[in-house]
């Protein structure tokens, strides 16, 4: 019997267009592997649409209509990045609707989206992160300058709102930019090291593994512009010795388990002379065929369509229980 997958794209944040690209790619891959796919999008205005047709005049009315598509689906694939999507919002809706969902549940999504919470979980597990502090937008005029810091919204993705500050004027500007995306702002000391990404997947049998890591090559800060203008270069497998590769992979697996992730997640690190330093976690990373995560799995011999299919299969496996968060992620 053909499985019916509901793919949700778009979203109410700065990553709307990136999420649309992810949703289109996932839908095509699933269709190529014989799944029946229905796609809906969430507009920046919060209104749900199907085939570009609004499902209601308000966010609430359109969501009520969209629940019909939830009812018809066997599995929901939320291909959304950022707040009100990747942060566990849709995973919670799926749990309430008793529908299997691809990827991490509410708890892991919420923790992974919040960079400050991620740091606290990492540090409690013994995983190193950049030295930093959390400030509130209302207090940013009173923040004393600390040289060479990275300023970022506590909850945002695709590096939106991220800036580098080397003096007081740059700090003020970076804080104002970050405050456009979140009223909680993270200020971290710059970490000098190679930028290495590690993808981790939880298979249908509950086991976890990581494909070869990827290295990001860029002349400056890997910000939103650099991510999408083609100036950054990726190499996979990253040129690592076996000791470095084993160490960074082990830490990525530990972080995946500490957050209780499911599906696939991307762990971003700085590889320093003292070992790996966790930068952030993405529980719904970019998932076009050209994105970092699919490139890593391709290096392990897993084609894009197969990767997407594995994620669907994991959502419906006996180890995945949509009604019990604690069981779902084990």
Q: What is the model's pLDDT at position 297?
A: 98
Q: Is the pLDDT of residue 248 over 50?
A: yes
- DSSP codes, 197-262: EEEEEE-TTS-EE----EEEE-SS---HHHHHSS--EEESS----HHHHHHHHHHHHHHHHHHT--
Q: Is the pLDDT of residue 323 over 50?
A: no
Mean of the per-residue pLDDT values of the chain: 91
* pLDDT, mean of residues 168-176: 90
Is residue 213 within 8 Å of 271, Cβ to Cβ?
no
Q: Is the pTM of this model over 0.95?
A: no
Q: 113-143 pLDDT, tens per residue? A: 999 999 999 999 999 999 999 999 888 877 8
Sign of CA dihedral 190, 196, 199, 200: negative
Task: Name which of 40-49, 255-264, 269-278, 310-319 the model is least confident about.
Answer: 310-319
- DSSP codes, 247-276: HHHHHHHHHHHHHT--SEEEEEEEEETTEE
Strand arrangement of the beta sheet that strand 163-165 belongs to: 132-136, 184-189, 149-153, 163-165
Domains annotated on the chain, with CATH: 4-103 (3.40.50.20), 111-127+191-328 (3.30.470.20), 132-189 (3.30.1490.20)
Counting other chains too, the contacts that 97-101 makes at CB distance below 8 Å and 24 or more residues apart are 97/67, 97/70, 97/71, 98/322, 98/323, 99/70, 99/73, 99/75, 99/322, 100/74, 100/75, 100/76, 100/315, 100/316, 100/320, 100/322, 101/75, 101/76, 101/77, 101/315, 101/322
């Amino acid at each position: 019997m053909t499985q019916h997958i509901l793919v949700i794209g778009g979203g109410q944040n700065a990553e709307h267009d990136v999420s649309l690209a992810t949703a289109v790619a996932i839908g095509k891959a699933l269709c190529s592997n014989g799944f029946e796919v229905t796609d809906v999008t969430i507009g920046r205005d919060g209104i749900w649409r199907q085939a570009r047709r609004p499902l209601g005049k308000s966010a609430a009315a359109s969501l009520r209509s969209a629940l019909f598509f939830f009812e018809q689906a066997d599995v929901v694939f939320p291909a959304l990045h950022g707040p009100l999507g990747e942060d566990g919002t849709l995973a919670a809706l799926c749990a309430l609707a008793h529908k299997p969902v691809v990827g991490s549940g509410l708890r892991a999504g919420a923790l992974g989206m919040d960079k400050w919470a991620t740091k606290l979980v990492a540090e409690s597990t013994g995983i190193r992160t950049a030295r930093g502090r959390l400030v509130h937008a209302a207090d940013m005029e009173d923040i004393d300058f600390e040289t060479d810091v990275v300023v970022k919204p506590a909850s945002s993705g695709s590096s939106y709102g991220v800036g580098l500050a080397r003096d007081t004027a740059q700090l003020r500007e970076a804080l104002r930019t970050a405050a456009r995306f979140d009223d909680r702002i993270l200020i971290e000391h710059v970490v000098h090291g190679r930028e290495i990404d590690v993808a981790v997947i939880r298979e249908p049998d509950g086991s976890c593994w990581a494909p070869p890591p990827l290295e990001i090559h860029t002349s400056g800060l890997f910000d939103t512009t650099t991510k999408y203008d083609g100036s950054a270069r990726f190499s996979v497998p990253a040129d690592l010795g076996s000791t470095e590769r084993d160490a960074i992979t082990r830490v990525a697996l530990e972080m995946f388990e500490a957050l209780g992730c499911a599906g696939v997640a991307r762990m971003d690190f700085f590889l320093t002379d003292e070992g790996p330093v966790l930068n952030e976690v993405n529980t719904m990373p970019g998932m076009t065929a050209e994105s970092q995560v699919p490139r890593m799995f391709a290096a392990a011999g897993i084609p894009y369509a197969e990767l997407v299919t594995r994620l669907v299969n994991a959502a419906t496996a006996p180890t995945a229980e949509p009604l019990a968060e604690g069981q779902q992620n084990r």
